[in-house]
Amino acid sequence: ATSGDCKETVVHGNTLVVTASPDSANAFDGWSGCDSTSTTSVPGDTCTVLMTVDREVTATFTALGSLGNRVWEDLDGDGIQDVDEEGLNGVTVQLSGPSGPQTTVTEDDGNYEFIDLYPGSYTVTIDTLTLPPGVFPSYDLDGTGTPHTTEVPIADGQDRFDVDFGYQPMADLRITKDDSEDPLPGGQNLIYTITVQNLGPAPATEVVVTDVLPSATTLVASSGCAEDPAGAPTCSLGSLGIGAIKSFTLEVSIQPAPPAQITNTASVTATQTDPNPSNDSDSETTTLDATAPRVVLVDTDETTADGELVNCETVHSRPVRRLLVRFDEDMLDPSGDGSMGDATNPASWLLVEAGPDKELATDGCGGAIGDDVEIPVVGITYDTGTLTATLDLGAELPSALHRLFACGTTSSYLRDLAGNPLDGDADGTGGDDFLRFFRADPHNLVANGHFDCDLGSWVQVSTNPNEIDHSEDDVDESADSGSASITNLTGSQDFALGQCVEVSPQVEYHVRARVRMSTTAPGIGARLTCSFFTGLSCDGTSLGTPASSSAFLADTDEQWIPLSLAFISPAGSSSELCSVDLITPTAESFDARLDQVEVNGDTGIFSDGFETGDTSRWTQAVSDGGTNR
C-alpha cells in the first residue's frame, strides 16, 4: 500500500511475511508488532507474523522533501532573477541538517538540488572559494546578514525551490581627465586625454565614457573610441580586464570670445556595478584667453621723435606714408587678407582726413561722415614677433587732421587668436573701436605748430605763467584745433613762445604765423626772431645776428593777421631758436591769439609754391616777345 491501512486475511496457524516497499517520496522508518524483522528500518525490510490469532502490525513511513534553486549572476543587484542574467556554474553548495551533510555543484544554468530530505532545519552554504572572482552577494534569503549561508526549514514532504543565491559582479573603474595646456594659448585647439582603469575585482564589460563638451567648444575629432571620430558625448571602450587601462583623446576647438575658463566632466559606466562610485567621474578646468586685445602703441614708418604717435600729436618735418599699430597680444592673421577680423584686412581699419570744414565728424568704423575724406589703406602686413600691423597708405598723408580707427565694432572687428574682439577704449571689455587723433604736418619743422590740444613743445616766456595758455579759438574755426592765448594780465611788457628746430647751413627758410589781436592800445609789437647755433639743440656757439621781422598790431577786429620771416641760415648752423614775441613797452592790455606757426626750408619766397596744386593766388601773364608781360 502507498498510504493508509492494509488488511490481509490469513488462515490461523500460518506465518505471514510483510515487506516494506516505500515509493521515492517517502522513507521507511521501521516495523512494529512483528514477531521478527529481517533488517532494521530500511526499505525492503520484512516483518514475520505467526497467525495464531488476529494480529496488527505497523510500518512507519516519512514523506521526504527537497530544496534547491539557482546561483546566478545578479547584474543589476536587485535580487530578482532577470531573463538576461545567467547562472553561475561550477559553484559548490553545501548542505547540513537531518539528511546532511551533503555537497553538490551547480550545473551550467546555475541550478542545484538536494533531494530525499527528512523534515527539519537545514543550512545551505555557498563555498565562496568556488565563486568567480569579483562577485558579491546581492541577495540574502533569510535576511540574517549572512548572504553566503541561509537557514531553510523543511516540513514533511515539503519541496523548497526558492533557495537561490544572487551574486553581483563588481568592477571599480577609475577615470581621469587631463587637458593639453592650461592656460590654453589663444587660437589653439584643446586636447583632452581621458584614461579609464579597471581596479577590479571583476572584469568590466561594455565600458562607456560619457563626456558632454562645454558649450564654448566644438569637437574636432576623437581617437580611441568605437565611435571615432565622433567619440563625444559617448565613447565606447569595450571590455577591460582586471588592472587593464584604456585611454582616448578628444580634440576640441574653442569658439571665438570664450569665457575665462571652461570645466569639462567625463564619467564612466560598465555592465558591472562599481563598488566605489567616487572615482567614476573626473573634471578638468582649463583657463582660456578671454582677455580682449588692446592697442599699446601707434607710430609712423619713420618714427616720431619719441617713438610713439600719441593722441593729438602732430607728426611734423617728415612724411607719413605708413602707420604702425602694436597690440598687447598676437592678433588673428590667417593666410590672405580677406578674412573677417584679419589684422591685414583693410576692412578692419579706417583712416579719415578732415575735409574743407577742417573738422572731423567720423566717430567710428562705420565709414567717413560729413565732408571727412577716407584715406585708402592699400596694404597691411602683420609681424607676429613684434605684434605690429603696418598700414601702407600708398602715398604721403596730406597736411591735415586725421583720425585712425582700429575696428572693434563692425563685422570685420579685429580679434586676437582666441577670437576676442578689440578693446579699443581699454576698459577691460572688448567690442569697441580704437581711435588715434593726430595731425600730419610733413613740411613744418615746428612741432605742434597748430596748437591742436595744448602748448606742448613750446617754451613760454612771460612774467606771469598764467598769461600764456591754450585756447579753443582756431584760425580755421575748427573745433578739433586751437591756438595759443596770450593775455597781459599783470602789466607785463614782453611775451614769447619759442621752439628749437634743426636746420641745415645756408638753406633758405621761411617762418610764418597768424595772430589775432584784441586791444584798445594804438598797437602791440609783434616780432618773429630766429637765432642760430652750431649744436643740434640750440646749444654750442651762437652764430651772428638773429634774423627777425617786426609788425605793429592794433585791434584786428577778430581777423587773423599773417606774420612772415625769410632768411638763409648761416654757415655752420645746425639749429635755430625761433620765437614769436609780443611786446608792449608801456605794458598795454591786450588779448591775443597765435596759430599756424610754420618753419619751412627751401620752399620758395611765395606763400603758395604750387604744393597745393592751386594756382588761384598767382597772377598770370603771357610774354609778347617785347617788354610787356
What CATH number has the domain bearing residue 273? 2.60.40.1510
Instruction: Say whether pLDDT at 143 is over 70.
Output: no
Q: Can you give the pLDDT at residue 614?
A: 43
Q: Can you give the pLDDT at residue 173?
A: 97
Residue 347 falls inside a structural domain: yes
Instruction: Pick the closest to residue 79 from 164, 203, 202, 205 (CA basis).
Output: 164
Q: How many angstroms separate the CA atoms of 72 and 19, rounded? A: 45
548: domain CATH number is 2.60.120.260
Instruction: Say whether pLDDT at 622 is over 60.
Output: no
Q: What is the mean pLDDT of residues 444-471?
A: 94
Q: For 210-254, write each residue's pLDDT tens digit.
A: 999 999 999 999 999 999 999 999 999 999 999 999 999 999 999
Of the residues 442, 477, 507, the one at which a domain ends:
442
Cell digits of residue 509: 627758410
Q: For 379-419, write each residue's pLDDT tens digit.
A: 999 999 999 999 999 999 999 999 999 999 988 899 999 99
Residue 447 falls inside a structural domain: no
Q: Can you give the pLDDT at residue 6?
A: 62
Instruction: Say whether pLDDT at 499 is over 50.
Output: yes
By DSSP bridging, strand 135-137 and strand 165-169 are antiparallel
Task: Work out the burial of residue 25: count CB atoms within 10 Å of its CB; fewer than 13 is exposed, 13-18 middle, 19 or more buried.
Answer: middle
Domain containing 198 equals 171-287
Residue 6 falls inside a structural domain: no
Of the residues 287, 305, 327, the one at which a domain ends:
287
Residue 567 falls inside a structural domain: yes
Q: Give me the residues paired with residue 469 across strands.
A: 485
Of all residues in the chain, the percent with pLDDT exceeding 90 is 71
How many domains does the structure of the chain reveal? Answer: 5
373 and 501 belong to one structural domain: no
Distances in Å between the Cα of 77 and the Cα atoms of 85, 138, 151 are: 10, 5, 22
- Under the banding of pLDDT at 50, 70 and 90, the label for residue 133 is confident
Q: How many angstroms separate the CA atoms of 560 and 592, rounded? A: 10
Q: What is the mean pLDDT of residues 103-119?
A: 96
81 and 215 belong to one structural domain: no
Q: For 345-383, write each residue's pLDDT tens digit.
A: 999 999 999 999 999 999 999 999 999 999 999 999 999
Q: Can you give the pLDDT at residue 18?
A: 76
Q: How many angstroms separate the CA atoms of 270 and 238, rounded? A: 9
Instruction: Say whether pLDDT at 108 is over 80.
Output: yes
410 and 322 belong to one structural domain: yes
For residue 277, what are the contacts with CB-CB under 8 A and spacing of at least 6? none
- Under the banding of pLDDT at 50, 70 and 90, the label for residue 611 is very low
| Contact of 71 with 167, CB cutoff 8 Å | yes
Compute the mean pLDDT over every residue in the chain, rounded to the nearest whole number: 89
Q: What is the mean pLDDT of residues 81-101?
A: 93
473 and 590 belong to one structural domain: yes
Residue 628 falls inside a structural domain: no
Secondary structure of residue 518 in the 3-state scheme: strand
Residue 9 falls inside a structural domain: no
- Under the banding of pLDDT at 50, 70 and 90, the label for residue 484 is very high
Q: For 391-435, where are the alpha helices, taking DSSP H only?
A: none
Secondary structure of residue 38 in the 3-state scheme: coil
Cell digits of residue 500: 628749437
Residue 142 falls inside a structural domain: yes
Per the omega criterion (within 30 degrees of 0), is the bond before 233 cis?
yes
Residue 375 falls inside a structural domain: yes
116 and 154 belong to one structural domain: yes
224 and 331 belong to one structural domain: no
